[in-house]
Chains A and B, each alone.
Chain A
Amino acid sequence: MPFPNVRLSNRPLHFIYLCDCSGSMAAQGKMQALNQAIRQSLPGMAEVAGNNPEARVLVRAVRFADRAEWHLQEPTPVQQLQWRDLEAGGITAMGEALELLAGVLQSPPMEERALPPVLVLISDGQPTDDFEAGLATLMRQPWAQKAVRLAIALGHDADLEVLQQFIGPEPPGGGRSPRRPLQASNATSLAQYIQWASTAVVGAASMPASQVQGAAAGNIPLPDLPPTVLDPTDDVGPLVW
């Protein structure tokens, strides 16, 4: 006889992309690179979700250009997700995107009990609207405070200060850290960071991983960033944009 058909109840883990779709993203294939990176990351993300009985991973996406709007509005189980391409054109309504996000992080519609949400902001430029007001609205939501907030800077024109404000206080010391904007200078490193956020970070937020001594404390201990694999095109500055 099979083991009774019961299981540990799980909690939703909301994973939300905030994607800059301003006109500059059309240049040098950045928009296509982002679409590819997200699409390629989905099988790995689905696998991590499948390995974590405690989590129900649900994905959404906001696009922002002249306006901010839902690109993927329905919280979608990652196993069922089909990524529809984003298109570039317009200015950078990042503040409005944060307002839109704030709206879904209040309860309801947020569930009463959940895992910490993971919010990933990806941008190649400066906000053209009232970013501060948008951020303030967002950070009034308890779920936004509890969320793992990550930011990916595309190319050299991204506003690192604004992205750091979204993440929170900058960690002491220098160097790469998940609590600083992740600087993607080419399509490979963009894909690596997206992959890392959608697998390692989702894993850490949904089911605790083994912990080592002296791991950075915090709401959710963040996993190490992906190593910079030797690649002849590494560290020679931007190649594509």
Chain B
Amino acid sequence: MTRLLPEGASLRFEGLEQPLQILRALGGGTQGEVYAVRCGAEELALKWYLPACLERDPQLPRRLRQSIALGAPSEAFLWPLALLEPTAESRPLIRHPKAGFGYLMALRPAGFVGAHRHAGGDLEISLQNVLRAGFHLADGFHQLHLKGLCYKDISLGNLFLEPGSGRVLICDNDNVDIDGQGGGSVLGTPGFMAPEVLLGKAKPCASSDQFSLAVLLFRLLTRHDPFRGQRELAIRCLDEPARRRLYGEEALFIFDPGDPGNRPDPEEHAAALVTWPIYPRALQELFEQCFGPGLRQPERRPLTGQWTQQLSRCLDRRQHCPHCSQETFPDPPRPARCWQCGSPLPPPLQLQLNQGRVSATAGNTLHRHHGDPLAPIRLDQPLARFVHHPEDPRLLGLHNLSGEPWPGQLTNGQSFTLAPGKTCNLAALQQLHSSAGPITVLRP
């Protein structure tokens, strides 16, 4: 790899009081190189651009300055923190005649892995955490769009996941711009680009982000591609012109409810056939909407808020199959069967709050939005979690994660209080009064 910055050296940059010590190269892409650097006591990541980038994309520093001024939309982004240009005395240390420039961002913590590992089937992760990752991804874009920004280049390559928690980090935020602002040269990544962008009829914007987000969610949730079905089998050499047809000119969703012309092949596309039935209809319908009418009509694409709503509802229904113990997400009105082994699923015990119901399954969580109609949908600050008794796993309880005591009644009419940090046995519980309103036990 070509190293533009000298490892081990300390470099000074305009406007930065402390020098940055270049610790080690983390990798290089087509645009530049990324280094771990020390800034005082802190370790950060530094992206350094190849000078050719600026020639091709003269708006890059403007966009970075704008993003730095606006601040990160959420914690899911490895957002630019400061734009860096070398001081005159540091320029000669940079191994290129045109020294170039870069930006600082947080260092990705260990434990986050590239989303391509998941897509490639090379990652142990639970269905719950895949759905959480989908939620955090959609929520990140929700917050970004609410700020009036668009991302332009959503793809597997820009997403990292923490398999044990479902948290995500979105990197490569240097194409972000105010939505509708013409500049910028990036078009996106084939396979994720909205058809109108792929075919050169439109520039990337918030509604093309909505399309790319849906593709990425589909790839996370199914480990398959929304357009690779029978039509892919007819393609011998999968090159750029073939991708333009598959994802643009002739794009057809593999599960299009009205047109079965591109269904998955049972052998080549087994992943899609195994994973699609896992998800509730409401979630499937968002994909059908985005890859059906939304394919040609950007205004018909599901909005980021619809994704967060349906993904969180799906998580609320999580239930283990009593036969094979797989995670399932049954649709309440339909007679429920396990997607993996086909066994009937018993109706679950549920907790009813003002705004929704949550199935009583260890690991499921209650949130403020379940009770409070004004609370935004969030997964990162649970009010309570279902847990097994530490000694007797047959007992399921509700663990109060809030800071407040919750008064309640038991099935025998007795009153009690669930203190913060304590767990009550669901078998004896009738009702609780939480900070997000009443919680009532619904027995099947």
**A-to-B contact residues, CB < 8 Å:** 1-9, 11, 44, 50-53, 112-116, 142-143, 146, 192, 195, 200, 207-214, 217-221, 223-224, 226-227, 229-231
Nearest first, the 4 A-B pairs at minimum CB distance are A7-B121, A53-B120, A6-B271, A208-B190
What are 14 A-B residue pairs whose CB atoms fall within 8 Å in the complex?
A1-B325, A4-B275, A6-B271, A8-B223, A8-B225, A209-B157, A210-B186, A211-B190, A211-B193, A212-B57, A213-B186, A220-B240, A224-B50, A229-B4
Q: Taking A208-B189, A210-B153 as contacts, is the C-beta distance between A229 and B127 under 8 angstroms? A: no
Chain A nearest CB, measured from B301 CB (Å): 21
Residues on A with beta carbons closer than 8 Å to the beta carbon of B51? 227
Identify which of A3, A214, A220 contacts B130 (C-beta below 8 A).
A3
A113→B233 contact, CB < 8 A: yes
Query: What is the interface of chain A mostly: helix, strand, loop, or mixed?
Result: loop
A213→B185 contact, CB < 8 A: yes
Query: What is the interface of chain B mostly: helix, strand, loop, or mixed?
Result: loop
- Docked Cα-Cα span, A7 to B2, in Å, equals 34
B95→A208 contact, CB < 8 A: no
Identify which of A2, A114, A210, A219 contacts B125 (C-beta below 8 A).
A2
Identify which of B123, B236, B241 contacts A113 (C-beta below 8 A).
B236
A208→B119 contact, CB < 8 A: no
Residues on B with beta carbons closer than 8 Å to the beta carbon of A214? 185
Q: Taking A1-B325, A53-B116, A227-B52 as contacts, is the C-beta distance between A208 and B191 under 8 angstroms? A: yes
- Docked Cα-Cα span, A53 to B220, in Å, equals 13
Chain A nearest CB, measured from B341 CB (Å): 11
**B-to-A contact residues, CB < 8 Å:** 1-4, 30, 50-52, 56-57, 95-97, 114, 116, 118-127, 130, 153, 155, 157, 185-191, 193, 219, 223-225, 228, 233, 235-241, 243, 268-271, 274-275, 278, 320, 325-327, 340
Residues on A with beta carbons closer than 8 Å to the beta carbon of B97? 230
Residues on A with beta carbons closer than 8 Å to the beta carbon of B96? 227, 229-230
Residues on B with beta carbons closer than 8 Å to the beta carbon of A220? 239-240
- Docked Cα-Cα span, A2 to B327, in Å, equals 9
A115→B237 contact, CB < 8 A: yes
Residues on B with beta carbons closer than 8 Å to the beta carbon of A44? 1
- Docked Cα-Cα span, A211 to B184, in Å, equals 12
- Docked Cα-Cα span, A113 to B52, in Å, equals 36
Identify which of B125, B188, B241 contacts A3 (C-beta below 8 A).
B125
A211→B189 contact, CB < 8 A: yes
Residues on B with beta carbons closer than 8 Å to the beta carbon of A112? 236
B52→A224 contact, CB < 8 A: yes
Chain A nearest CB, measured from B92 CB (Å): 9
Q: Taking A114-B236, A208-B240, A229-B2 as contacts, is the C-beta distance between A52 and B130 under 8 angstroms? A: no
